[in-house]
Amino acid sequence: MNTAYHNVPEIGELIYEKEVVVETNVKDNSFYSYADYHVSTDEKKVRMVGGNGNDDVLAVYEKLNSFFKQIGHEADFDRLYEESKRLVDVVKKCCGR
């Protein structure tokens, strides 16, 4: 009986597979919406915006403003500034700074 197995490599044969990307790049904010941001935990919000422990309120403000523009959400200065201060406090509490 002659049985043929498909997709079975011969000994010594190299197999090349396509890599499949399953994680989204956080820097590419097009995967997010304001609804995603709104329901996220504070820690995830910091990651979505790209904040880190070295950022002051103005740096987070710039990142948050840019993030909101990329996802198509408009917010006024006061709201962005308050959210920026809050995110900086989240990082300070989290990291003990």
**Burial level of 10, CB count in 10 A (0-12/13-18/19+)?**
exposed
Q: What pTM was computed for the model?
A: 0.66
Residues 60 and 49: beta-carbon distance below 8 Å: yes
Mean pLDDT, rounded, for 31-57: 92
Mean pLDDT, rounded, for 73-87: 95
pLDDT at position 12: 56
